[in-house]
Structure 1
Amino acid sequence: MINLLHLVQLRAHCKLKGWCLRVKEIFIERREKILRIAIKSNNELIESIVEENNNEPIIGEIYKGKIKNILPAINSIFVDIGLDKEGYMYYSEELKAKGIKKGEEILVEVIKEPINDKGAKLTSKVSIPGKYVVLNCYEKGINFSKRIEDNEKKNIILNNIKPLENASITIRTEGINVDLVELNDEINKLYKEFENIDNKMKHSLGQKKLYGEDLSLIKILNNSDKNETTKIYVDTDIDFEKIEMFVRGKENIKLEKHDNFRNLFDFYGLEKELLKLRHNKVNLPCGGYIVIDKTEAMYVIDINTGKNIKERNFNKTILETNLEAAKEIGKQIRLRNLSGIIVIDFIDMRDKSQKDIVMDALKESLKSDKGNIKIFPFTQLDLVQIARKRQGKSVYEYMEEKCTLCKGRGMILKLSYIAGLIKNDIVRMKEENSIGCFHIELDNLYKDRVNEDMFNFIKEIEALDKEIYLTYVDNIEGYKIEPLIFQGQKDNLKDYKVSVIEKYTH
């Protein structure tokens, strides 16, 4: 645990210096095919990320590919990367000059995930990002971010860093002020990654992924701030060992292994907080509210004044509502992990100075989303467009599925997600009260799927050794569960008991 005296002393020091002490908590929960990460700042949930291992390419992954087809008419190259769908990339002048041919092996990076029947978008300009540096594979030289304008500091770095063989170095904006020893350490670390990729590219057989395990986790660890006291919770030995190496020597970061019988997210109340994010309406302190909707092509966020009628001046009411909305939208984008195109419909503002104030507030709320986001100016209709890079799944993709009864027009909780919630409840009640008998109510929407494969459902909720009574009802939010303590309760439900044959028959 973080030493209490140390925290008190740190708070006092920060107050004396006029600094704002931030305490960040990172929760990392891993299952067989799911990695979930939640981040809290000063006890407030600010970000959630889900990565699912479903054999589909993710942005930032690097593959050894083979060129399957070149179509000059549409300037496209199709590449086999060893997965179900071929990826595609732009047939650039640079590739044309290299004389690239069909059947040739090529190193590629995923820059856009597959959508519907379309494969992943790729690039042959492959890079390995760090916190202060980006390594560009098979290029030469030392370059600087366009935002870096201090020529004196550039020269210091150029005089103290050696160029690499077969890889160029790009110093990121944060890298210009970091200690040279730390900068060189990161370069050496990234270069070892490159050598590993290069070796696999030359000597491994077939098309496959060469780099990209747990990219979301690596990015979050890389973005940790020296001015934050950070506590990281993990629930597997593998993650503990991996992160322990990363935080070694960093006094502001503490690591803890979660050994409780309850799941990490359930124990720390994160599951309940994430479930709240299914609601598309978010109230603002002023009385207004925002509504977040997903269409086939984008997310749309609408702002309403609602009950904000305290100002007699309507222009002030509009500005106040839009300003609070701008701050909240930045928070919700990260919380819900929205990506792709996001369109915000602000309440009409005739005064350009008001638009500038609102835009500044929106940019400030998304400032910590480094390198992921691009915000475009107001349109004539007071719309703001945002483009955000995808990093893992949104909360909707992870939790929800299309409702079969309304032909996909509505969304319901995924059965797999409900099974996880039921399992949490069963484990908690069993350990706390030694109860092994439960009545579960499920929405009728799930009846056919559960009955078709009762064994796997009971297995997923970890109840093969429990006494389960299962009923189906209409119009409940997913499920209800209650422990059965008295024989009379069991007698009343005897017709709904899951039999031993159902439990153990595949």
Structure 2
Amino acid sequence: MKDIFIERRENLLKIVVRENDKLVECYIEEENNGPIPGEIYKGVVKNVVPAIKCAFIDIGCEKNCYMYLDSKFNNNKIKKQDEVIVEVLKESIGTKGPKVTNAISLPGRYCVIETLNKDIRFSKSIKNEEFKLHIRENINRPKDIGIMIRTNGEKVGLEELQKEISSLYLQLEKIQREGRYSIKPGLLYSDAGVMDRVLRDRVDVKTSRIIVDNEADFQYVNKIVHNISDVKVEVILHNDSRTLLNAYGIEKEILNLRHNKIQLGSGASIVIDKTEAMYVIDVNSGKNLNSNSMERTVLNTNLEAAEEISRQIKLRNLSGIIVVDFIDMDNKEYQDRVLEVLRAGFKDDKNATYIYPFTELNLVQISRRRRGRNISEFIEEKCEVCDGKGKRIKLSYLVSMIKSEVLKIDREQGIKDIYVEMNSIYKKEILEDKIGFVKSIDALDKRVYVNFKNKMELFKVEPLIFANQIQNLEVYRIYG
């Protein structure tokens, strides 16, 4: 069965999908971090560069966004100072602003309405021709929009589809009206971001529970789930001093996504590395000697690796060009079996993913559309101790986890002396702002002892109960 966990802390939202107690998807979203995919803005064209067929548009944010111009988008006559309504396709990266389009689409659970296309289209997963014919002949829709029926649309009746189309169209009319009458560039429409996408796309008959740790989110999720006619899901409010993902042992699994080496059950491993242009994944046989036939061993290792590779790409939200170096196989039938496993792993992936055949060098190329940042960008930052050449877990990320442990100790034991061990690479920042650190872990009413150690990946938090403990560790006290 499938469980969905939704944790909200300060400006960070984490959503995890777990099937049969195994992590299958992880989403992290920072609030107030600029335009995100799916948001719709009114913009003003600031510049048009014909040489690269691109318009740069002010949407009221820090950076101008960019939009490609093409006759198929009916936007190649746009000129400077034109007012446009655009939808964000990609977030800002580095100095590059967000990518936008004038082809507005509003997704629901069962269908998507579109302003560029005027046709009725169907998800590739829908094979039932009778269903398609029934919809085409009976659906009632405004003539100025197109409709794409999603996979879930096949599970409900025409009345439910009609209801959602009407609701989405009313929302579109509101957006267009506000776009016409608003004076300045700015946001016209935003759903609940990644939360709405997960509730819309990931909740299905296999979903048994949605667990949230915030009262407002609890009410919102309940409202959404109540209106989904094809599933029955229990929504649970997590009331505990420990953070939701810590309480369920998921946080450490997320942190493991930082590591580039993943051990497989057979003794083999995969290694994921990022270059300037692409991701490279290498498959190593390691100690996998489970078969008498070397050829069979290679096949089994590659099949196991293919399944884990698709899982890791989705978990880490890797995108762009991904090259996989499988263990060499010359057998075409074996190669096809590996490709089948890879494709099966991306079957329900909402990011457009293309898998190309094996090359002569036994490489498989994967291209995956970028939507959001990869998970490590939320967890890691440059390590100044390494002159910016290395990476470390973000101090803010660690602090939120330490705070969870401090709150747990306070609730269960009420101890006022808290001992923390953490990596020495954080020493300078913490000692320069001791009060800020203590406040961030919610320990202003306590005595805090911090011991900085070399080569410590995470941290340790313990209550100091006995007088001799406190006396021995007095040298590490930074507050109280």
TM-score range normalised by the length of the shorter chain: over 0.9
The within-5 A match list for 1:73-92 is 73-92=51-70
- Among 453, 456, 464, the alignment partner of 2:436 is 456
Distance 1:493 1:317 in 2: 54
Question: Does the CA-based 8 Å contact 1:137-1:166 persist in structure 2?
Answer: yes
Equivalent in the alignment of 1:293: 273
**Helix, strand or coil for the counterpart of 1:387?**
strand
Which of residues 317, 325, 337 in structure 1 aligns to 2:317? 337
Are positions 1:159 and 2:137 aligned together? yes
Alignment partner of 2:11 out of 23, 33, 36 = 33
* Residue number in structure 2 paired with 1:8: none
Structure 1 unaligned runs (5+)? 1-22, 501-506
Which shows bigger deviation, 490-499 or 295-304?
490-499
What displacement does 1:363 show? 0.7
Alignment CA distance shift 1:481-1:31 (3 Å): closer
Cα deviation for residue 442 of structure 1 reads 2.8
Aligned counterparts of 1:259 and 1:112: Cα–Cα separation in 2: 35
2:416 aligns with: 436
| 1:4 equivalent in structure 2 | none
- State how 1:379-458 maps to structure 2 within 5 Å: 379-458=359-438
Aligned partner of 1:254 among 231, 234, 243: 234
My pick for the range that moved more, 450-459 or 164-173, is: 164-173
Please point out which of 291, 302, 317 is paired with 1:311: 291
Q: Which sits farther off after the overlay, 432-441 or 323-332?
A: 432-441
Partner of 2:330: 350
Are the counterparts in 2 of residues 247 and 253 from structure 1 also a CA contact under 8 Å? yes
User: 2: distance between equivalents of 1:183 and 1:96?
Assistant: 28
Give 1:336 shift.
2.4
Distance 1:259 1:57, change over 3 A: same
Q: Secondary structure at the match of 1:498?
A: strand
Which residue of the other structure, out of 236, 241, 253, is the alignment partner of 2:214?
236
> How far does residue 226 in structure 1 lie from its aligned partner after superposition?
4.3
| Residue 278 of structure 1: aligned partner | 258
Moved over 6 A (4+): 95-98
Deviations 1:10-43 (A, max 9, x none): xxxxxxxxxxxxx111000112311100111122
TM score, norm. by length of structure 2: 0.93
In terms of mean alpha carbon deviation, does 292-301 or 258-267 score higher? 292-301
Separation of aligned partners in 1, 2:123 and 2:381: 42
How far the C-alpha of 1:232 sits from its partner, in A, is 0.4
SS in 1 for 2:398: helix
Q: 1:386 to 1:209 in 2, by over 3 A?
A: farther
Q: Deviations over 1:79-110 (max 9, x none)?
A: 11111111111121357777322111111122
| SS of alignment partner, residue 295 of structure 2 | helix
Q: Using the alignment, how far apart are the partners of 1:261 and 1:119 within structure 2? A: 39
SS in 1 for 2:429: helix
Residue 306 (structure 2) aligns with: 326
Alignment counterpart, residue 56 of structure 1, candidates 23, 28, 34: 34
Q: Distance in 2 between matches of 1:185 and 1:270?
A: 38
- Which of 431, 446, 453 aligns to 1:473? It is 453
Deviates more, 1:314-323 or 1:48-57: 48-57
Determine the C-alpha separation between the residues in 1 that align with 2:427 and 2:293.
55
| Contact preservation (8 Å) 1:90, 1:123 | yes
CA distance in 2, matches of 1:181, 1:47: 32
Structure-1 separation of matches of 2:181 and 2:355 = 43
String of CA shifts for 1:471-499, please: whole Å, max 9, x gaps: 32322224332211122322333343234
- CA pair 94-292 structure 1, distance change in 2 beyond 3 A: closer
Residue 221 in structure 1 maps to residue 199 in structure 2: yes
CA distance in 1, matches of 2:432, 2:372: 31
Structure 1 residue 148: deviation in Å? 5.6
Q: CA deviation at 1:273?
A: 2.1
Correspondence for 1:19: none
Matched, 1:47 2:47: no
- Deviating more after overlay: 175-184 vs 321-330: 175-184
Partner-residue secondary structure (3-state), 1:405: helix
Moved more, 65-74 or 287-296: 287-296
Query: Contact 1:299–1:343 (CA<8 Å) still a contact in 2?
Result: yes
Q: State the Cα deviation string for residues 336-382 of structure 1 (Å, max 9, x = none).
A: 23233222111111111111000001111221213442222222222
**How has the CA–CA distance of structure 1 residues 225 and 275 changed in structure 2, closer, same or farther, with 3 Å as cutoff?**
closer
Q: Which amino acid aligns with 2:324?
A: I
Letter in 2 for 1:368: D
Gaps of 5+ in 2: none
Shift of residue 245 of structure 1?
A: 1.5
Paired residues of 2:260 and 2:271 also in contact (CA < 8 A): yes
Change in Cα spacing, 1:185 to 1:322, as seen in structure 2 (3 Å) is: same
Q: For the aligned residues, what is the CA RMSD?
A: 2.3
Q: How far apart, in 2, do the equivalents of 1:454 and 1:97 lie?
A: 55
Q: In 1, are the aligned partners of 2:43 and 2:86 still within 8 Å (CA)?
A: yes
Contact 1:142 1:163 in 2 (8 A): no
Q: CA deviation at 1:334?
A: 2.2
Q: Classify the secondary structure of the residue corresponding to 1:217.
A: helix
Q: Distance in 1 between matches of 2:456 and 2:343?
A: 40
> What is the distance in 1 between the residues matched to 2:283 and 2:410?
45
Q: In the alignment, which residue of structure 2 is the partner of 1:245?
A: 223
Alignment of 1:199-210 (within 5 A): 199-210=177-188
Match of 2:46 in 1: 68
Deviations 1:385-411 (A, max 9, x none): 222233444331121112222233322
Quick check: 331-340 or 37-46, which moved more? 331-340
TM-score under structure 1 length normalisation: 0.88
In the alignment, what sits opposite 1:187? 165
Deviations 1:393-452 (A, max 9, x none): 433112111222223332211111111111111111111122121122332211222223
3-state SS of 2:299 partner: helix
Q: Deviations over 1:173-211 (max 9, x none)?
A: 553464212211221232232133223212333222222
The amino acid of 2:22's aligned partner reads E
Q: Is this contact kept in 2: 1:141–1:163, CA < 8 A? A: no
Q: Is the 8 A contact 2:434 2:479 kept in 1?
A: no
Matched position secondary structure for 1:441: strand
SS in 2 for 1:202: helix
